[in-house]
């Protein structure tokens, strides 16, 4: 959700807009970063980006796909396939120092629901 970070890593990326993934909830994985897990009553809020192949390659490096930190998954969001990076080890953990502050700031910038932002803050 970090616009500045995406501009730096993925100069060809275009912000599409805010969206949500029903049936999941935000959690922190063992490595200390965001993940999602199934929850029939949950919603994960975020933003969609349109990516070039070069952007996907850059995100693969950033997300540590080759090292096994994250893996790529495809979800159906807003009626279409969407690439999502999910931790390879999805066991729950504690957030890396300072990580949630960035997630919360981005959530506020994009106008995500206040109750969702409160849920994210609860991981701190």
The three state secondary structure string of 25-61 is: EEEEECCCCEEEEEEEEEEEEEEEEECCHHHHHHHHH
Q: Using CA atoms, how far apart are residues 56 and 51, in angstroms rounded to an integer? A: 6
Helix (H) or strand (E) holding 72: strand 70-77
Query: In terms of pTM, does the model score above 0.75?
Result: yes
Say yes or no to pLDDT of 72 above 80: yes
Say yes or no to pLDDT of 67 above 90: yes
With tokens 């980006």, the residue in question is 49
pLDDT at 124: 76
Q: pLDDT tens for residues 13-66?
A: 999 999 999 999 999 999 999 999 999 999 999 999 999 999 999 999 999 999
Banded model confidence at residue 90, pLDDT cuts 50, 70, 90: confident
Distance of CA 118 to the CA centre of its chain: 16
Say yes or no to pLDDT of 81 above 80: yes
User: What is the end-to-end Cα distance of the chain in Å, rounded?
Assistant: 18
**Alpha helix (H) ranges present in 1-124?**
3-9, 53-62, 99-109, 114-121
CATH number at residue 70: 3.10.490.10
pLDDT at 78: 83
Structural domain range at position 107: 3-121
Banded model confidence at residue 83, pLDDT cuts 50, 70, 90: very high
How many domains would you assign to the chain?
Answer: 1
């Amino acid at each position: 959700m970090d616009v500045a970070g995406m501009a730096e890593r993925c100069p060809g990326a275009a912000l599409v807009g805010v969206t949500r993934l029903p049936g999941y909830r935000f959690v922190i994985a063992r490595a200390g970063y965001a993940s999602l897990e199934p929850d029939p009553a949950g919603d994960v809020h975020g933003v969609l980006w349109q990516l070039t192949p070069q952007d996907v390659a850059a995100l693969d490096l950033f997300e540590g796909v080759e090292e096994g930190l994250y893996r790529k998954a495809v979800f159906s969001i807003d009626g279409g396939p969407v690439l999502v990076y999910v931790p390879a080890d999805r066991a729950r953990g504690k957030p890396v120092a300072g990580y949630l502050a960035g997630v919360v700031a981005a959530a506020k910038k994009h106008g995500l629901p206040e109750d969702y932002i409160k849920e994210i803050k609860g991981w701190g």
